[in-house]
Every structure is written in structure tokens, then in C-alpha cells.
A and B are shown apart, each in its own frame.
Chain A
Amino acid sequence: MITTRQFLQIAFAGVCTVAFAQSASAQGTIKIGELNSYKMQPQFLDPYKKGWEMAIDEVNAKGGVLGKKLEVISRDDGGNPGDAVRAAEELVTREGVSMIAGTFLSHIGLAVTNFAGQKKVFFLAAEPLTDKITWQNGNNYTFRLRASTYMQVAMLIPAAVAAKKKRWALVYPNFEYGQSAAENFKTLLKKAQPDVEFVTEQAPPLTKVDAGAVVQALDDAKPDAIFNVLFGADLSKFVREGNTRGLFKNRTVVSLLTGEPEYLDPLKDESPVGWIVTGYPWDKITTPEHKAFVAAYQKKFNDYPRLGSIVGYVTFKSLAAGIAKAGSTDTDKLIAAFKGLKVDSPFGPFVYRASDHQATMGAYVGKIALQGGKGVMVDFKYVDGASVLPSDAEVKKLRPAP
């Protein structure tokens, strides 16, 4: 027989071999750690990865930043906060990165935000939407690029008010993003239209929506309008059942993120015409900076960009701009530089607010139409994030004292 401890020894020998084998790193580069749920959310993160690869290539082709090339060390966070924190620790302690970026799901983003605050590491949250990253659980070390849940909802409120509907039904995935989107929507709409009535709420579990039953329950409540937060596979199921069962007939539907190519494209000819959505009409934006981005992207990858591409691209462009402004990779200097940092993106220029570390990059709001058998966004306009964010004084009350 072999004892317990002997095996611990064998195990640790393995651990040590792995851990001591330091990866050979090029001298004179700036190392950026990146982590994301690549296996869990491939439809968004595959384009995201292409986006940041393009940003890094562009920056390095121009000689890098501060005379050094950027080097990204990317990790899969396993889709859960425990592994994500370990990956972050590994990036910091073993790879010696000077900052970290990434994450997709809210709770993973929050866990890494908290890690960054505890270990005093600069962290740029790319995609997670929860308001808590910049508000309730915000800290000095964390910035966030993507427009938060609150901002996305606020962008849709004017259209919801303009529809002048009294009876609203809500459907959202049962986790933090869905819940807080629904809460924000109810609060904001009630404020703008006090006589509004919320007739039913359906909160199916994420990825497990019983579409037929949910559609029927919504229909039975006889709403005038519907607010939807479902996305991904849940959205496809919901839309198909809703179309077949006539749920959307003569009803206003306001929906979060549905205009993003990641979620709209799979719907093809099933795309729900007339929905008012936030999204990214990649083939119809005519600003020169966006056209240049699309051309470069298509040339490089022979594929069209999704919203993930924009997020990945702008995340790393932001980091390059921040490092250049700080003149160093020192954490405190980076934080100082990011406060009020102005970045040029394919969506136009935006800033990282000093008050709550939220970027003001906005999103497109428009209607879904069918063109050539697939869904597109029409009548859209760009809503600047700054126009929907609460004032500096208000967010100061939301954030914990530094």
C-alpha cells in the first residue's frame, strides 16, 4: 500500500513541474492578462477574441506603446468564478502581467472586480453588464467598458414611453442580469409614465425556457406591450413559439440586446419584425471610423464583425490608450490615467468617467425588420452612454466609500 502523503508528494511534484516551468517571455513587452468564458459563451467570445487580436496587431504594427509591444496572455476562466479568480491569480503571480481585462458573465465579473480590489490589480471589465461592478460593488481598481444593464434599459425607455401602452408584461431569464433589467425597467417606466400597469412577469431559468408555456402565460395576461430580456438560445425558442402562437400580433415589444448580431442572426426569417431593441447594425453604420473598422476586420478574418468584435477591439484599444496616457504600467498611474480617459472607437469617441469608472460608449437603438430573409435593424440611432447615465453626484451615493 502507498500512503496518503506519498501521493500528495507525487501530486505536488506535478504541480511544481508545471509551476516552475516559467513560460519564456519576450523582453521589453507590456504583458496584459486576459480571461474569459471562451467555452461557455463561444458565440459572443469567438468574435470578441478576433476583435482584440486585431487591436493588438494594430497597436504593435505602429510600434506598440511606450516603445514596447503589447503581449496578451489569454486564459479560459472555465465559466465559473472560482476558476476565474485562480486564472487571475495565475496571470498576476506567475505571468507577471501588469493589468487584467475581460470576463463576460456578471457574477464572474463581480468576483474578479472584488479580486482586483483586494489584490490591488488594475482590471478593465469588458462585457459583464451588472450595475454592481461600477456602483454598489465598485472599487478604485476596476473600470468597465460595456454599457451596463441600467444604461441599456434607460436607452429603451423613451421608445417604451412613446408607445403609450398601459398593460406591460415582462419576461426575463432568472438570474441577476434579467432580474435587475426587469427592476430597472419597472422603476424607470413607472417614473416616466405613472399609470403603467405590470400585468405579469415570467422568469424562466437561463437556457431552460419552456417557450410554449411561457408564451401562453404571457398571452393569457392580455398585455398591450411586452418587455423582453431573454437572449441566446432562449430568445430563439421564445420568438419561434411567439410567432407561431401569435403573441406579438398588435403588441409593442421592447427587447434588450436582441439587435446584436450574436442573437439576431440565428433567427433568420423568424426575426420578430417591429421589435424595438438595442443592438449593433454592423452593415448599416456609415460613420467613417466604423467603416474603416469593418473593412479591416473583413480583410483580416474574412467574416463580418459581431458586437463581441467591437467589445474585444475597444477593450484593448482602451488599454493601449490608457498606458500611453499614464506613461507607465504602474497601477496607480494607470488608474489616474483611466479617469476621464478619452478613447476613439468604431462607435465614435467616448470617455471613462472618473466618478464611477464607467465608459460612456453607447449602443444603437432601432427596430427589427426582415430584409432578404434575415433580420436587420432599421430606423436606428446611436444613443450616447453619457446621456443615460446618472450624474456624478448620484453615482457617488451608490458607490462604497473609497
Chain B
Amino acid sequence: MSSFLFQALNGLSAASGLFFVAAGLSLIFGVTRIVNIAHGSLYMVGTYIAYSFATVVGGMLGFWGGIIATAIIVGIIGAVIEVLLLRRIYRAPELFQLLATFALVLVINDATLWLWGPEDLLGPRAPGLRGAVEVLGRQLPTYDLFLIFIGPAVLIVLHFALARTRFGRLVRAATQDREMVSALGVNQAVLFTAVFALGSFLSGLGGALQVAREPANLAMDLTVIGDAFVVVVVGGMGSITGAYLAAVLIAEVKALCIAIGVVDFGGFSVNFSKMTLVAEFLVMAVVLIARPYGLLGREQGAVRSVAEPEEPIRPATRGLKLAGVTVLAVLIYMPLIAQDSPYVLVLGVDVLIAVLFAASLHFIMGPGGMHSFGHAAYFGLGAYGTALLVKWLAAPMLLGLAAAPLLALLGALLFGWFAVRLSGVYLAMLTLAFAQIVWAAVFQWEGLTGGSNGVVGVWPTAPFDTRETFYLLTLALAVIGVLLLRRFLFAPFGYAMRAGRDSPLRAEAIGIDVKRVHWLAFAIAGAVCGVGGGIFAFAKGSISPETIGVGRSIDGLVMVLLGGIQTLTGPIVGASVYATLQDTIMRQTEFWRAMLGGIILLLVLAFPSGIVGALAKFAPRRKDQP
């Protein structure tokens, strides 16, 4: 028993670390509605800067003074990011800022590598708190004890700052209704900058405090951002106290899993410590299903869009259809055109897979208005469905491919049923939780899926075993998939879906079952995405958990936003541009991440409504068009 109590203390000290970074994220999201993926990068930079202070200056001052200085520096970095970058794109369509922060993640990671080098940097122990005290007959590091108290202390300070000061009132008001705040004459620009700086300050503080516990390393940014999002959502967006409760809940669940360790169930042993892989996402799924706005969250006030209203979508004109057929012909003849450089076809397959992924994601994100952060789940179900059928049942290739959309469809039906009951960022995070659960299942179920190594040896068979035929097969499936999605959008189903997005109440009033329509949309998008996964498995000859991780979901979001979420061709262009860019840049330079991030930043600033969105503004528009 005492060991469980002691593990609860460990959980509390871990929770404090999580709380700082989550609190900052929650504040920023609450006020600015920016999904700040770069928040983890600020945390990482915090650890690096604090390491430099602690080792270069050294001693009491270098360590403790360094932590304060680091938090201030990171806060300033945050303010600079807000002023130079984000302020320019607040009027872009919803979620577009995510693209900018994604680019920042890439740039900051490479900048950190360049400044501090590749080696892990373990800071010194905290001066004054080097040892351990005896609690419950065990050794508890004094630094952990310090962390257990500093978390709630900062929570109380923040709570009073938000409750009692004018700044706090403005923050709370803006979280509830930022248009109203701005209408009342509050300078929004200053408020946003201040909140961004405060959020970054907290993140930097959290990172700096870790310097005595873990080495500064380049993987911290992505490791921490996932956890932070989970904490924020479980606690309820915008609620600082909720964030602390959630951090404690998650840290305690993990500590409990570790404390239980290996348990024998009559000869069948389960290692609970392996559950820590997915514990937070299980907690999040359960909390969101039971309490759709998190533990202490409230329903979000409607954000009246600050972006320009979206144009209705229009079917292609006859001239454009003709042009389209011509292009398709060129694509079909590509194997002949590209005879001397077969790599075009290899890359072509990858681009077409990306197109399927992005187009299906856009189907629910754009016209459906449901932002999915876990689209990789359906890609993964398709890929694994195909690969396992081929591997275990020696199914022929086409049968394996046929299984891809089916399995993805089933998964999307199941997850979608829960997801469409939520909205906004909660929906997004629930999809992410499901995707992580799929990922973890694939990762853990070693007997079936090959665990972290994945399934290898899934190659296309005749007649698709040449580059040309496989390319043509992929092209055919991609064209069918994209046209199918388009067909749905121009059918009554598509209109009903958009009606449900734009005005759920009115749509319900005229007899549309909005949830049902959105649920089916989820399923359709999942199935089309699954096809992409199936092709992927054959194209690479293998599939492993990494391929279906968070990274792929984020890549999908980037593609859709890059192309332009408000247009139908946007995701296709975005996917093509992004996939090609990545392939090209990875070859060009050692610091390819920074370069890719830099290019995305330029695109973000140049085309704040996506590439196609920007082009469409210049295109001449006929008034007599339907």
C-alpha cells in the first residue's frame, strides 16, 4: 500500500511539469484560438537555455536565476513570434495559424540543433536540492518535493491574477467572446501579444524546471506537445484549474500503471507498464465521451469568423472539364513520357497517396467543418488491413486492397459515432485520441501486427509488379476516390453536410439529421483514406506503426491548409506541393527541416487563404454561374 501512496507522490511531481506547459497552451488557445503546435518547441528551448545558464554561469545564481531568466527570455520569444508572424494571419480561415506554428516547429528544431549541437545535454542537479528525503520509508528527491509544491503555487498565482486583475478579466472576457471585447474598445493586438507572451513564459518555465531532471534533447518538442494538448483538453480548454486537475489525473494514472507492473492472470501475464504508452489517450477518450467539454471546461462561445465568408462551391464549367480530361490523359501517358526517369513514377505514387489522404481529410474538415487531428487512423487501418490479409491469409493483391476501405470504413463508423457528438477542438482531440489508440494497439499487438517493426514483405503481384502498372493502378484509384468525394459534395448529401456545418439549428429545423449526415461523411472520408493506406503498404512493401502516427495526421492538416481549406482543389494542390517539396528539400540540404519550415512560412504569409484560395481570388468570375 505504501508503495502506491509513494507512487502517487511521484505522479504529483510529474504533474507539475505537465501543468506549466499545458497552462500556457490553454491560455493561448482560449484567447487567440490558435492551436499552437510550436508550444512544445518553446518548452524545449527553455530547457536548452536553462542548461546554458546552469553550466556557463553556474552555481546557485546560474541555476535558479537562470530558470527565471529563461522563462522571461522564452516569453519574449513568444511575443516576437506573435507580433512578427501570427498577427499577420489572424484573419485567415480557422486553423490556418496551425500551419504557421507547424513551420515554426521545424525551424526552431533545426535552429536548436545548430546552436547547441546534436548531443543530449544533462544539466546539473539543483543547487540546494541535490539530495533526497525519506518519505514512507523511501527516498524522495527534494527537487521532486519542490516540484510538487511549485505547481499548485503557480496555479494559485495564476488563478488570482485571472480573477482579480484587469488583465485577468480581459483574458477571461476574450476567452468567452473576443469580438465583444474588441467591440468594447479593448486593444486586441496588445492583449493577444500579452497572452502569447504569458503562455510562452509558462512553457519556458516548465522547460527550464526540467533541466535538473532530464537532458535537453531535440525530441522534447514533439514529446511534450502531445501530452500538453491532452492535458488541456481533458481539463477543459481555457481552464487553468482544469489543466492542473488533468495533469494530476494523467500523471497519477501513469504512475499507477508503473506501480502495478507485471501481473499474472493465471499464467497469462500482463505488463501494465506498457500501458503508459497510451494511458493519457485512453483517459482523454473516456473523459471526452463522458464530459464533452473536459473536466472543468464550458461550451465554447461561438467564434464569429474573422475571415472572409466562404464562397459557395461551384461545379466545374465545360471548358474546365475538357481541360481536366486533357490533364488526365497526360497523367495516363506519364509512364511513356517519363521513360528515362522512373523515379517520377515512384514519387508520383507517393503524391497520389498524399492526394487521397488530403482530399478525404478535407471532405470532413472543409465542407464538413469537422477538424480531424487523427485522420492517420483510417490510413493505418487501411494499410494494416491490406498488409495483414496478404501476410497471414496470403490474400491476392486486389482482395487485400479491397479490404483497405472496408476496414477503414468500419473504424470511421465506430470513431465517427463518438466524434460527431462533439465539436470544434474537442472533436479534433477525440479523433486524435482514437488515432493514438489505434496506433498503440498496432504497436502492442506484436503477435498480429509485428509490433514496432511492422509488417514487411507486402509487395504488389503481377500485373502490378512494375512501376508503370502500379502507378496506373494508383492513378486510377486516386482519380476514382477524388471524383467520388466530389460527387458526394454536389449531391444533396453534400449540401446537407454543409448546411449542418454552417447552421446546425436551421438544418435540424428543415429535417436534416445533422449528426447522422456528419457521421456518414466521417465514414466516407475514412473509407477513401483507407484506400490510400492500402496502396501505401504495397508501394513500400511494408507498414509500421510510425507510418500511421501523429506525424501523418499533421502532415495531412498541413497539406489541406497549404492548398486552401475553402476550395475543392486546395487539398489536391496542397498535397502535391507538400509531398514534392519535402522530397526535393530533404535531398538539398542538411538543414532541410528549417528550409521546409521557412518555405511554409513564406507560403503562409503570401497566401493566407491557401495556394488555391489565393489563386481563385485572381481568377475572373462569371456572374451568371450557378
Interface residues of A in 1-45 (CB under 8 A from B): 1-12, 14-16, 18-20, 22, 38-39, 42-43, 45
Asked if A237 and B342 make an inter-chain contact with CB atoms under 8 angstroms apart, the answer reads no
Q: Which residues of A contact B577 (CB under 8 A)?
A: 11, 14
Q: Which residues of B contact A15 (CB under 8 A)?
A: 344, 347-348, 351, 576, 580
The CA-CA distance from A377 to B71 in the complex, in Å, is 38
> Separation in Å of the A246 CB from the closest CB of chain B?
5
The answer to whether the Cβ of B615 comes within 8 Å of any Cβ in the partner chain is yes
| A–B pairs, 15, beta carbons within 8 Å | A4-B482, A4-B486, A12-B334, A12-B576, A14-B577, A22-B341, A87-B586, A113-B456, A200-B261, A201-B262, A212-B13, A213-B255, A213-B259, A233-B217, A245-B139
Q: Which residues of B contact A246 (CB under 8 A)?
A: 132, 139
The CA-CA distance from A203 to B278 in the complex, in Å, is 13
Asked if B547 and A237 make an inter-chain contact with CB atoms under 8 angstroms apart, the answer reads no
Looking at B84-92, B167-175, B231-239, B319-327, the stretch in contact with chain A turns out to be: B319-327
Given A6-B324, A12-B331, verify A19-B119 contact (CB < 8 Å). Answer: no
B532-543 near A? 1/0 per residue, CB < 8 Å = 000010011111
The answer to whether the Cβ of A290 comes within 8 Å of any Cβ in the partner chain is no
- Residue of B276, B321, B572 touching A7 (CB-CB under 8 A): B572
Looking at B2-10, B20-28, B75-83, B182-190, the stretch in contact with chain A turns out to be: B2-10
Asked if A81 and B330 make an inter-chain contact with CB atoms under 8 angstroms apart, the answer reads no
B426-465 near A? 1/0 per residue, CB < 8 Å = 0000000000000000010010000111101101000000
> Separation in Å of the A48 CB from the closest CB of chain B?
11
Q: 3 closest Cβ contacts across the A-B interface? A: A11-B576, A42-B118, A5-B324
Q: Which residues of A contact B310 (CB under 8 A)?
A: none
Given A3-B316, A4-B568, verify A176-B255 contact (CB < 8 Å). Answer: no
Interface residues of B in 196-237 (CB under 8 A from A): 213-215, 217-220, 223
B506-546 near A? 1/0 per residue, CB < 8 Å = 00000000000000000000000000000010011111101
The answer to whether the Cβ of B121 comes within 8 Å of any Cβ in the partner chain is yes
Interface size class of B (residues with CB under 8 A): 35 or more
The CA-CA distance from A202 to B275 in the complex, in Å, is 11
- Residue of B132, B323, B542 touching A110 (CB-CB under 8 A): B542
> Separation in Å of the B160 CB from the closest CB of chain A?
30
A47-89 near B? 1/0 per residue, CB < 8 Å = 0000000000000000000000000000110111111011101
> Separation in Å of the B215 CB from the closest CB of chain A?
4
Apart from A3-B321, A81-B543: 8 A-B pairs, beta carbons within 8 A: A4-B568, A14-B576, A78-B586, A86-B346, A174-B277, A211-B214, A216-B258, A220-B259
Q: Which residues of B contact A5 (CB under 8 A)?
A: 323-328, 331
Asked if B593 and A39 make an inter-chain contact with CB atoms under 8 angstroms apart, the answer reads yes
The CA-CA distance from A50 to B120 in the complex, in Å, is 18
Given A12-B331, A16-B338, verify A175-B451 contact (CB < 8 Å). Answer: yes
Q: Is the interface of A mostly helix, strand, loop or mixed?
A: helix
The answer to whether the Cβ of B402 comes within 8 Å of any Cβ in the partner chain is no
The CA-CA distance from A118 to B539 in the complex, in Å, is 12
Given A76-B592, A111-B454, A200-B261, verify A4-B572 contact (CB < 8 Å). Answer: yes
> Separation in Å of the A241 CB from the closest CB of chain B?
7
The answer to whether the Cβ of A94 comes within 8 Å of any Cβ in the partner chain is yes
Given A38-B590, A110-B542, verify A244-B139 contact (CB < 8 Å). Answer: yes
Given A8-B331, A245-B138, verify A216-B276 contact (CB < 8 Å). Answer: no
The answer to whether the Cβ of B423 comes within 8 Å of any Cβ in the partner chain is no
The CA-CA distance from A39 to B582 in the complex, in Å, is 14
> Separation in Å of the B457 CB from the closest CB of chain A?
6
B342 nearest in chain A by CB position: A93
- Residue of B141, B317, B542, B568 touching A244 (CB-CB under 8 A): B141
The answer to whether the Cβ of A137 comes within 8 Å of any Cβ in the partner chain is yes
Asked if B453 and A217 make an inter-chain contact with CB atoms under 8 angstroms apart, the answer reads no
Given A7-B569, A220-B3, verify A213-B254 contact (CB < 8 Å). Answer: yes
- Residue of B276, B338, B586 touching A210 (CB-CB under 8 A): B276
Asked if A176 and B453 make an inter-chain contact with CB atoms under 8 angstroms apart, the answer reads yes
Given A3-B323, A236-B214, verify A85-B348 contact (CB < 8 Å). Answer: no
The answer to whether the Cβ of A130 comes within 8 Å of any Cβ in the partner chain is yes
- Residue of B258, B340, B619 touching A217 (CB-CB under 8 A): B258
The CA-CA distance from A14 to B13 in the complex, in Å, is 52
Given A15-B344, A82-B540, verify A8-B273 contact (CB < 8 Å). Answer: no
> Separation in Å of the B7 CB from the closest CB of chain A?
6
Q: Which residues of A contact B575 (CB under 8 A)?
A: 11
- Residue of B218, B350, B459, B590 touching A118 (CB-CB under 8 A): B459
Given A42-B113, A212-B13, A217-B258, verify A7-B542 contact (CB < 8 Å). Answer: no
The CA-CA distance from A362 to B128 in the complex, in Å, is 44
Given A3-B569, A11-B351, A233-B215, verify A80-B453 contact (CB < 8 Å). Answer: no
> Separation in Å of the A163 CB from the closest CB of chain B?
22
A44 nearest in chain B by CB position: B118
Q: Which residues of A contact B122 (CB under 8 A)?
A: 236, 240, 266-268, 270
The CA-CA distance from A175 to B444 in the complex, in Å, is 9
Asked if B276 and A204 make an inter-chain contact with CB atoms under 8 angstroms apart, the answer reads yes
The CA-CA distance from A39 to B592 in the complex, in Å, is 9
Instruction: Tell me the number of A-to-B contacts counted with CB atoms below 8 Å.
Output: 303
The answer to whether the Cβ of B292 comes within 8 Å of any Cβ in the partner chain is no
Interface residues of B in 257-301 (CB under 8 A from A): 258-259, 261-262, 271, 273-274, 276-277
Given A80-B547, A213-B255, verify A203-B347 contact (CB < 8 Å). Answer: no
The answer to whether the Cβ of A273 comes within 8 Å of any Cβ in the partner chain is no
Asked if A202 and B258 make an inter-chain contact with CB atoms under 8 angstroms apart, the answer reads yes
Given A18-B580, A213-B10, verify A110-B328 contact (CB < 8 Å). Answer: no
Interface residues of A in 79-133 (CB under 8 A from B): 79-83, 85-87, 89-90, 93-94, 106-107, 110-111, 113-115, 118, 130, 132
Asked if B214 and A237 make an inter-chain contact with CB atoms under 8 angstroms apart, the answer reads yes
Asked if A176 and B219 make an inter-chain contact with CB atoms under 8 angstroms apart, the answer reads no
The answer to whether the Cβ of B131 comes within 8 Å of any Cβ in the partner chain is yes
B260 nearest in chain A by CB position: A217
The answer to whether the Cβ of A207 comes within 8 Å of any Cβ in the partner chain is yes
Given A19-B341, A213-B11, verify A205-B277 contact (CB < 8 Å). Answer: yes
Q: Which residues of B contact A89 (CB under 8 A)?
A: 343, 346
- Residue of A6, A10, A75, A240 touching B587 (CB-CB under 8 A): A75
Q: Which residues of A contact B11 (CB under 8 A)?
A: 213
Asked if A107 and B113 make an inter-chain contact with CB atoms under 8 angstroms apart, the answer reads no
The answer to whether the Cβ of A197 comes within 8 Å of any Cβ in the partner chain is no
The CA-CA distance from A89 to B219 in the complex, in Å, is 28
The CA-CA distance from A84 to B384 in the complex, in Å, is 18
> Separation in Å of the B22 CB from the closest CB of chain A?
16
B340-369 near A? 1/0 per residue, CB < 8 Å = 111110111011000100000000000000
- Residue of A19, A39, A107 touching B344 (CB-CB under 8 A): A19
> Separation in Å of the A389 CB from the closest CB of chain B?
21
Interface residues of B in 567-590 (CB under 8 A from A): 567-569, 572-573, 575-577, 580, 583-584, 586-587, 590
The CA-CA distance from A401 to B31 in the complex, in Å, is 63
Q: Which residues of A contact B317 (CB under 8 A)?
A: 1
Interface centre among B7, B276, B483, B592 (most CB of A within 10 A): B276
The answer to whether the Cβ of B45 comes within 8 Å of any Cβ in the partner chain is no
- Residue of A19, A201, A212, A268 touching B343 (CB-CB under 8 A): A19
The CA-CA distance from A132 to B455 in the complex, in Å, is 12
Interface residues of A in 226-253 (CB under 8 A from B): 232-233, 236-237, 240-241, 244-246
Asked if A1 and B316 make an inter-chain contact with CB atoms under 8 angstroms apart, the answer reads yes
The answer to whether the Cβ of B421 comes within 8 Å of any Cβ in the partner chain is no
Asked if B258 and A2 make an inter-chain contact with CB atoms under 8 angstroms apart, the answer reads no
The answer to whether the Cβ of A265 comes within 8 Å of any Cβ in the partner chain is yes
The answer to whether the Cβ of A208 comes within 8 Å of any Cβ in the partner chain is yes
The answer to whether the Cβ of A221 comes within 8 Å of any Cβ in the partner chain is yes
The CA-CA distance from A174 to B257 in the complex, in Å, is 14
Q: Which residues of B contact A12 (CB under 8 A)?
A: 330-331, 334, 348, 351, 576
Q: Which residues of B contact A94 (CB under 8 A)?
A: 341-343
Asked if A232 and B346 make an inter-chain contact with CB atoms under 8 angstroms apart, the answer reads no
The answer to whether the Cβ of A46 comes within 8 Å of any Cβ in the partner chain is yes
